Amino acid sequence: MNRESLIKKWLDHDLSPQELEEFKQLEDYQDLANLDESIKGFKADSITTDEALNSVWQTIRSQKTSTNRLVSVLSKIAAVLVIGFGIFYFTTTLDTTSSTLVAQQEQIQLPDASEVQLNAMSTLSFNSSKWDDNRSVTLSGEAFFKVAKGKKFDVITDAGTVSVLGTQFNVKYRNDYFEVTCYEGKVAVITNMKSTTLLAGDSFLILDGKYIATEKENRLNPSWLNHVSTFKSMPFKEVLAEFERQYEVEIEDTNIDKSQKFTGSFTHNDIEIALKSITLPLQLKYSKTDNIITLKRD
Amino acid sequence: MAKPLNDNICEEQLFSSIFKKYSKDLHDFLYYKFGSQLNPQDKMQEAFVKLWENCAKVPANKAKSFLFTTANNMMLNEYAHQKVVLKHRQIKPKHSTNLTPEFLLQEKQYQEKLERALANLTDAQRVAFLMNRVEGKRFKEIAELLGISTKAVEKRIYGALKKLREDIDEL
């Protein structure tokens, strides 16, 4: 057998014992054996298959969960954005509402230069985001409006709508009582019963479902702005109701004809004087215990 | 391969068995081809992760060539024509007793020469040669792993031996 095929067989680990002897007789056998010995030193790092397999599984699983994690992170971000936009949208389109308590007045600045003075126990709401297109406020209670010039301005109450172009007027809506008084400019009042236009000094009153003609108003603004409530031929029960709104009291009124008319005023600042103001003209007596006021005939 | 495996390798069981069958060979292949500095073990594991990601697309009997090709490509991406460095592990044959300083020096020089000579082989030669000499694989096994003929393996290994001896004599 020639030298080359011997070496090849040796390389292929395929020598028979007899051939091996032959191979060892080669002149460069020692050389080859040395080389072979040294080559073995270049052995690759050994790997532990099980460990490597475990780490492969770990990588595979962590990749799976990491995509899951990515999805969950993204969905969290999305949720925050949705909620954020939701709140943003909700709050910007939400009506702004102002309410007053008993004996409280509040001045409200509308998105344009218009001003509203809100009397006690009243609620006013408006939408500031749509203000440019739609100047309208919803009112329950009593308020005095100084409307800046501009487009139509609506005051919506359950009893009717008051539309103006730029003026000063007072709207009072309490239960069966709906009164609009125009102090300046021109005001349109639209109710189910009657629609009319008020000029400065005109008043419009619906009481217990009936339209009531009223005298010309010659004040420049409603008296309540100066903490005085004024009545002209009003049923006494309306006076008492207003009194309860301005002082935190309850009025017990046995034996009194509450439909009798009252003309006069009471202050918001001194309950004793106020009580005298409303009782003396009608020859009534009053007694006061804590927050309960009892009215009696003289 | 003993029998063609046609099952779906997305099965953990089958995937594990493929891993046990090829992980060492794949690692050795990468090690001898590209040297140790490119982290052959990591690349080997990455290749298996890639195999898992594509388990639905790769039939079991193509898994081996998928692994070798994938790992090889990943290596080539990082390879950037670095010179292959094979670390010598200095596992001394136990029976060498004549450890005179002179001998040790000779030995050291010889190793250095061998290292350089190995690096001078072509990738194909080095892989086949080291798998044969170090891992003790027969030509036929190497041919199967690399997907080439036994004759070609023989040629590479014999060629490598010749070239090594020439280089060592020269150096």
| ipTM of the complex model | 0.75
* pLDDT, position B128: 92
* pLDDT, position B68: 92
Say if strands A153-156 and A160-164 run parallel, antiparallel, or are unpaired: antiparallel
Tokens, residue A26: 């080669």
Mean pLDDT of A118-145: 85
Question: Percentage of chain B surpassing pLDDT 70?
Answer: 83
Q: Using one digit for the tens of pLDDT, what is the confidence trace for A51-93?
A: 888 888 888 888 766 666 778 888 889 999 999 998 888 777 7
| Domain B101-170: CATH architecture, name and number where available | Orthogonal Bundle (1.10)
Confidence of residue A179 (pLDDT cuts 50, 70, 90): confident
Tokens, residue A229: 């409530």
- Give the range of the structural domain holding residue A8, as residue numbers without chain letter: 3-38
Residue A126 and residue A201 in one domain: yes
Residue A115 and residue A176 in one domain: yes
- Domain tally, chain A: 4
- Count how many Cα atoms sit within 13 Å of the Cα of residue A183 in the half-sphere of its side chain: 14
Residue A77 and residue A134 in one domain: no
Go through B111-126 and write b for each residue having 16 or more CB atoms within 10 A of its CB, e for each that does not.
Answer: eebbbebbebbeebbb
Question: Do B133 and A40 lie within an 8 Å CB cutoff?
Answer: yes
Name the closest residue on chain B to residue A5, using Cα atoms: B158
Domain boundary among A212, A247, A265: A212
CB contact A49 to B (< 8 Å): yes
Q: Using one digit for the tens of pLDDT, what is the confidence trace for A191-241?
A: 887 888 888 888 888 888 788 777 777 777 788 888 888 888 888 888 888
Q: Which long-range contacts (CB under 8 A, 24 or more apart) does A136-140 make?
A: A137/A110, A138/A95, A139/A171, A139/A173, A140/A173
Q: Using one digit for the tens of pLDDT, what is the confidence trace for B35-93?
A: 877 788 888 998 999 898 888 888 888 889 999 999 988 888 876 655 556 665 544 44
Pick from A67, A70, A56, A46: nearest CA to B9: A56
pTM of the model: 0.48
Residue A233 and residue A253 in one domain: yes
Tell me the residues of chain A between 230 and 269 that have a Cβ less than 8 Å away from chain B: none
List of chain B residues whose C-beta atoms are within 8 Å of the C-beta of residue A8:
154, 158
Measured CA to CA in angstroms, residue A285 lies from A156, A241, A252, A269, A280 at distances of 39, 18, 12, 20, 8
Shortest CB distance from A13 goes to which of B27, B44, B136? Answer: B136
Question: Do B110 and A31 lie within an 8 Å CB cutoff?
Answer: no
Average pLDDT, chain A: 83
Question: Do A41 and B111 lie within an 8 Å CB cutoff?
Answer: yes
CB contact A27 to B (< 8 Å): no
List of chain B residues whose C-beta atoms are within 8 Å of the C-beta of residue A61:
none
* pLDDT, position B69: 92
How many whole angstroms separate alpha carbon B157 and alpha carbon A102?
105
Q: Answer for the pair B86, A42: CB distance below 8 angstroms, yes or no.
A: yes
Question: Do A56 and B139 lie within an 8 Å CB cutoff?
Answer: no
CB contact B98 to A (< 8 Å): no
Q: One-letter amino acid identity for A37?
A: E
Residue B152 has pLDDT above 90, yes or no: yes
Question: Do B23 and A36 lie within an 8 Å CB cutoff?
Answer: no
DSSP conformational letter for A133? T
Mean pLDDT of A153-170: 83
